[in-house]
A and B are shown apart, each in its own frame.
Chain A
């Protein structure tokens, strides 16, 4: 996929830059997932993960 994107856009990125891009996307997805799981107030998510949140000692809940 990386090659496909690079060839279509006519660009080439070095391996370190490629790593940074992938890592950035990866961290963003992980951060969003953690936020939804541990901090979202949407009732269905909150109620499902309420006990998990309380079980982690430092995760605030209501």
Chain B
């Protein structure tokens, strides 16, 4: 069932859907199926048309960042997709919590145009909040114990070493990473760095003037995490297709494309690319460290208070 706001216009309606539902979405778990349905004023899916899609990551909010601060407020993917029975589907791994913004520009076969912005919220994984709470509690208890030890001990030892374990548990298309996977399909990926969307382009080079229709399936897989972070399946393309994609995590990725032209063998292309990681800005980390040290300090104060209170009773 599609949800989201339908736009009532004279000529078409746009519906947006995520699978699973937004309430069940969690960051960096699995690729989410995103779907658009474009219907005419009569409610029937458009037979022809394209949609221009732009997905933006949540903007930074408050004092604390997410675990991928460089992703916040950036464009995750930007592309054109053809409509098939009025639908456009793609997969996207949603990396961080917060409100995502999807801008859709639909163009019908008759030239009718429609634009709509959808927003959906992704909640943080509860396990992460629990881990944060556990660490915070541990820091507080550490401070509490230290506060008791440091208080009222005439010849208290100077704690010199605290054993502390926290273990819980380049641009230019195809200049850097272009291969020649086969004779007919060419996949081009710009040099990728976290924080900057890059162009991924596939083209069928032997389909004459580029006007021939092909069917393309393209997936981007994070090899270390073994997760599909982006994908389109069997979309109709006119010899060429591209997407601006933001690699939000450093590491190795496999970009695989399979194009099919009727009467020809499938055109398979694949690249393994290395995405350069970028150190996060210092300010979010500073805030986190201040809070953690403050928790220890509060523990120290309460530990001292409890020791003195116990001694006075």
Contacts and interface: CB of A to CB of B under 8 A. Distances in A.
A49 B156 CA distance: 34
A30 B131 contact: no
Contacts of B116: none
B172 interface: no
A25 B194 CA distance: 38
B52 to A, nearest CB: 30
Contacts of B2: none
B69 A60 contact: yes
Contacts of A61: 67-68, 280
A43 to B, nearest CB: 11
Contacts of A18: 150, 156
B279 A19 contact: no
A58 B279 contact: no
B281 interface: yes
Contact of B162 (A26, A37, A62): A26
Given A3-B155, A57-B128, A31 B289 contact: yes
A44 interface: no
Interface stretch (B37-45, B73-81, B107-115, B290-298): B290-298
Interface string A23-55: 101110111011101110100000001011111
Contacts of A49: 166-167
B300 A2 contact: no
Contact of A55 (B64, B131, B249, B288): B131
Given A31-B293, A41-B279, A59-B285, A23 B169 contact: no
Contacts of B249: 62
Given A57-B67, A62-B194, A62-B279, A23 B167 contact: no
Given A34-B292, A39-B285, A23 B150 contact: yes
A52 B289 contact: no
Contact of B67 (A25, A39, A41, A54): A54
- What are the nearest 10 A-B pairs in CB distance? A57-B128, A60-B280, A62-B277, A58-B64, A60-B69, A22-B150, A3-B155, A37-B166, A60-B284, A39-B285
